[in-house]
Amino acid sequence: MLVKIKGSALLGIQAILITIEINVSMGQGYGIVGLPDSSIKESLDRTESAIKANGFHMPRTKILVNLSPADLKKTGAAFDLPIAIGLIAASEQLESILPLEKLLIMGELGLDGLINPIKGVLAMAIQAKAEGLTALLLPIENLEEASMIEGIPIYGFSQLNEVIHFLRTGKIQHSNKIIPNPIHSTRKLNEQLPKLEDIKGQGHCKRALEIASAGGHNLIMIGPPGSGKTMLAKSIVSILPPLNMKEAIETTQIYSVSNKVEISNELKKIRPFRQPHHTISNIAMIGGGSFPQPGEISLAHNGVLFLDELPEFNRNVIEVLRQPMEEGMVHIARAKMNLVFPASFILIAAMNPCPCGYYNHPTKECTCSSIVIQKYVHKISGPLLDRIDLHIEVAPLSYQTLTTSSFCSSSSKIADQVFSARNIQTKRLINDGLGLTNAQMNSTQLMKYCTIDKDGGRLLEQAMEKFQLSVRSHDRIVKVARTIADLANSKCILSNHISEAIQYRCLDRSSWGSFKE
């Protein structure tokens, strides 16, 4: 008897619909065809034990399982559950009141029939809805994640017998499984994040973080060890606007296919913050591998990628960031496939001014020679720095600043201002059909939306000549000035907005000019 069930295979962060054909006929031998990997080839051994443990018998005739389309490589143990259901149905031990060919069924089986969680269920739910299937049957641990997609019934199960009962009766058996509460997890995570009011002094740095958050701008901080660069970087999450539903689905989908299911539920409210170590490899940063997986820049999609001690990273690793920073995506090319991973993130980088960390320090003497400093700064190329909108110097704090209580706007108040500025950008760019921030505007949009008054234009011209800025640096200054104007609720970019934007280009000014490429 031939039975067909729908399954799903992951290709990048997308799901491809797979037809699982199970045929039980006269003869002998087991076989799975359709480019299965080793874990799928072992599936019949796992499903045999699970079938017997749940009161059914394994057919002792010829069994052939075909995964169609046959030219697409399939990986993982998530095909266990549909294969088991198909074997039971094909051997006439199951009379389903539901059409199996209209159901998408996925799950990994234990030897006792326990259904274990799998990765990529959000992509599977999106694909099942697009294909017009009637329902999605998954491990119960994945139910909360998949339920983000509306318009298709989604059912969760913990045991093979529960699935059989549902197919026979259309009713769900009670389960003692508890679905995790993502809201509780998010609140716990938020309490661990630093907020701007927790940081003493550094008013200009906090202002730069506000601008970066409002316009989606990249930022680099230069300062001595212990000046608070890391804490400042982490505090940006507290002022970023919350994820909308589209962003939450995109972000959760990336984490799901990366098998970070325990984290993905927490991303419905909070933006991701990724802080890879400086020993990270190219593939771990941008993604790839034999079976391509998202890298750190994709895990930071719709959030923040923080690179601490930027010059300590391998130069090749930070240079591969250029294209994703411009396009908001990364292209992974393989012999038989080309994948695109989303990678629209805010880059926050931190570095010391020199190897010892005390170049230009007000009280401590730098022990580095000019050649050593030049070599240190040259680890970061000029083209990469051009793609970073805000350059700020983080000064060391005095004892008096640390012990004196001073007024500072709370993260919640600044977050409201950031949210208002983002709304202005959304309304401005809505005719372009793109959910862009100021940092993502192209040259045409710059000409259209960034009107500068005469004084501001003259000031920008003087800065271009004095600091010998590139065209890309010019555009970055205009974009930052546009964000500053949005925060001030100004339709036109004024000279004071241009002036402030120029102040955030310290790596273009004379004190650092001799060390740039």
Q: Please check the confidence at residue 174 and state whether its pLDDT lies above 80.
A: no
Question: CA 270 → CA 23, 51, 219, 236, distances in Å?
Answer: 47, 41, 20, 12
| pLDDT, mean over the chain | 87
pLDDT at site 516 = 40
Helical (H) or strand (E) element with 482: helix 471-487
| Residues 353, 494 within the same domain | yes
| Residues 371, 399 within the same domain | yes
Helical (H) or strand (E) element with 458: helix 454-467
| Residues 410, 356 within the same domain | yes
Read off the pLDDT of each residue in 368-385 and give the average, rounded to a whole number.
87
pLDDT in tens, 199-223: 887 889 999 999 999 999 999 999 9
| Residues 155, 207 within the same domain | no
Give the CATH number, domain containing residue 56. 3.30.230.10
pLDDT in tens, 430-483: 877 666 789 989 888 899 999 999 999 999 999 998 888 888 889 999 999 999
pLDDT at site 361 = 86
| Residues 321, 402 within the same domain | yes
* Dist. CA 512–CA 514, nearest whole Å: 6
| Residues 236, 357 within the same domain | yes
| Residues 328, 233 within the same domain | yes
Q: At 505, give phi and psi (nearest 5°).
A: -125, 50
* Dist. CA 460–CA 476, nearest whole Å: 12
Q: Please check the confidence at residue 328 and state whether its pLDDT lies above 80.
A: yes
Q: Is 355 domain-assigned?
A: yes
Token couple for 181: 């509460």
| Residues 104, 61 within the same domain | yes
Q: Is 180 domain-assigned?
A: no
| Residues 349, 452 within the same domain | yes
Q: Is 183 domain-assigned?
A: no
Give the CATH number, domain containing residue 326. 3.40.50.300
Token couple for 408: 């500072």
Beta-carbon-side half-sphere exposure of residue 333 (alpha carbons within 13 Å): 0
Which residues lie below 8 Å from residue 194, measured CB to CB, with a gap of 6+?
231, 234, 235, 238
Q: Please check the confidence at residue 189 and state whether its pLDDT lies above 70.
A: no
| Residues 287, 387 within the same domain | yes
How confident is residue 155, by pLDDT bands cut at 50, 70 and 90?
A: very high
Please give the torsion angle defined by the CA atoms of residues 406, 407, 412 and 415, in that order, rounded to the nearest 10 degrees.
-100
Read off the pLDDT of each residue in 412-426 and give the average, rounded to a whole number.
93
* Domain end position, chosen among 127, 142, 169: 169
Structural domains in the chain (count): 2
Q: Is 179 domain-assigned?
A: no
Q: Is 181 domain-assigned?
A: no
* Domain end position, chosen among 134, 169, 204: 169
Q: Is 273 domain-assigned?
A: yes
| Residues 201, 235 within the same domain | yes
Q: Is 176 domain-assigned?
A: no
Residue 69: cis peptide before it, omega within 30 degrees of 0: yes
Read off the pLDDT of each residue in 246-264 and give the average, rounded to a whole number.
81
Q: Please check the confidence at residue 324 and state whether its pLDDT lies above 50.
A: yes
Domain region containing 255: 188-513
SS (H, E, C) 492-504: CECHHHHHHHHHC
pLDDT at site 514 = 45
